Amino acid sequence: MKVYTLGDLREQIKSFPLFELISTPTPLYSLEKLSNELGGPKILIKRDDLTGLAFGGNKSRKLEFILGDALKKGADTVLTWGALQSNWCLQTAAAARKAGLRPVLLLFKTYDVPAIYTGNVFLEYLLEARMEIRETEEKGKSVNQDKAFELLEELAARERAKGYHPYLVSVGGSACGGHLEQPLGALGYFQAMLEIYEQTAKAADLPDYIVIASGSGGTQAGLIAGVKALGLKTRVIGICVSDKKEEFFPIVKQVTMELLTTLGLDLQIDDDDIILFDDYLGAGYGQITAETAGVIRNLFKKEALVLDPVYTAKAMIGLLDLVERHYFSSKDRLLFVHTGGTPALFALQDYIMSCLPGG
């Protein structure tokens, strides 16, 4: 299978319009106390919660390319959907404002959290994003993409009637649909993989595994495509945060294949390139458990690292459990990507505290 150089791949990416939103590289370092305590694999962290846009997170990398596309297509309004406390929606609204576009958000009450101006919703209020809140059919699961696009089209029609030019994009900026004709969100994580390679290869510290929270699939797809293109042995592990593996696997696979096509890379994706664990879903998307609350407290006390309750806490629970189950060898290097989402902590504060001793 063909292996590409870093230079080739960087050149390839340059052909996609990008609206600059973040400052890179984000820090990558070792979690010493955690690694020592585990006495097993070395745990490194990539701080993509420090991308710098509206409290940071993985979405800002995706949005650089997505907004580049929206601007190229002459949009003046960006429409998307997500859960009520969606980190994607906040990042999209902030990025849109920075690019001079109007944000319109369709927010679903996918889990039990009050529809008040707190956490991400408070920040969206400050941004004067237009917000429309709806119930969902099934709590704790992703909203059906076709259904969400139908509703988004209704909002788009209203915007068009007012003379605006909306750009529609699906939750998480991963799957193509609406005006997103190529997996430009995943492209952001393809680029992130090149950055990880640059940060780790020189120190002969390439990770054996990368562990991430996987929700709409684009982050995982981009990293897998990057690993393949560079010909690395690194394995990318996605910890499912909303859907079961069977439902989610085809999405990650499709986005990865579409990305390789978009980049014109002559590479194959096999089923075993896509590693997913759905054992840590708990009661479903956004549901807080004693384990979630515990890992947030534990990592904050140990490493001064703030995890979010919906994504990174679950991914860390997965990483720690896999270490305990000896999934990795004690010599392995694991890279945990902190994908952000921390403003939701403040919206879910009561739930988190009620799960902790004395709460």
Ligand X SMILES: Cc1ncc(COP(=O)(O)O)c(C=O)c1O
- Residue numbers of the site for ligand X (CB under 6 A)? 57-58, 87-88, 172, 174, 213-220, 308, 311, 339-341
Residue 41's Cβ-side half-sphere holds a number of Cα atoms within 13 Å equal to: 25
| 86, 142, 174, 214: the active-site residue | 86
Total Cβ atoms within 10 A of residue 35: 18
Alpha carbon distance 298, 310 (integer Å): 16
- Least CB distance to ligand X at residue 87 (A): 3
In three-state secondary structure terms, 29 is strand
Report d(CA 169, CA 81) in Å as an integer: 8
Instruction: Specify the residue, 200 or 220, whose C-beta has the smaller distance to ligand X.
Output: 220
According to DSSP, the residues that pair with 106 across neighbouring strands are: 81, 132
Nearer to ligand X, 166 or 238 (CB): 238
Least distance CB 35 / ligand X (angstroms) = 22
DSSP element (H, E) containing 168: strand 166-168
Residue closer to ligand X (CB basis): 213 or 347: 213
Phi/psi for 237 (5° steps) reads -105, 120
Q: How many CB atoms lie within 10 A of CB 98?
A: 17
> Cβ of residue 243: shortest distance to ligand X, in angstroms?
10
Q: Tokens standing for 286?
A: 């956004």
Instruction: Convert 219-279 into a string of H (helix), E (strand) and C (coil).
Output: HHHHHHHHHHHHCCCCEEEEEECCCCHHHHHHHHHHHHHHHHHHHCCCCCCCHHHCEEECC
Map residue 204 onto helix, strand or coil.
coil
Q: Which helix (H) or strand (E) is 319 found in, with range?
A: helix 312-324
CA-wise closest residue to 72 among 146, 151, 167, 8: 167
Of 159 and 184, the one with the shorter C-beta distance to ligand X is: 184
User: 10 Å Cβ neighbour count for 276?
Assistant: 20
**Comparison of 28 and 159: residue with beta carbon closer to ligand X:** 28
Of 242, 357, 214, give the one whose Cα is nearest residue 298.
357
Q: Which is nearer to ligand X, 215 or 226 (CB)?
A: 215
Name the residue number minimizing CB distance to ligand X: 341
Asked if the bond preceding 250 is cis, omega within 30° of 0, the reply is no
- Please confirm, yes or no, whether 23 is among the known catalytic residues: no
**Two structure tokens written together for 3:** 């292996």
CB of 353 to ligand X, least distance (A): 21
Which one, 103 or 217, has the nearer CB to ligand X? 217
C-beta of 299: minimal distance to ligand X in Å? 15
Enclosing H/E stretch for 200: helix 184-201
Minimum gap (Å) between residue 343 Cβ and ligand X? 10
Residues with a known catalytic role: 86
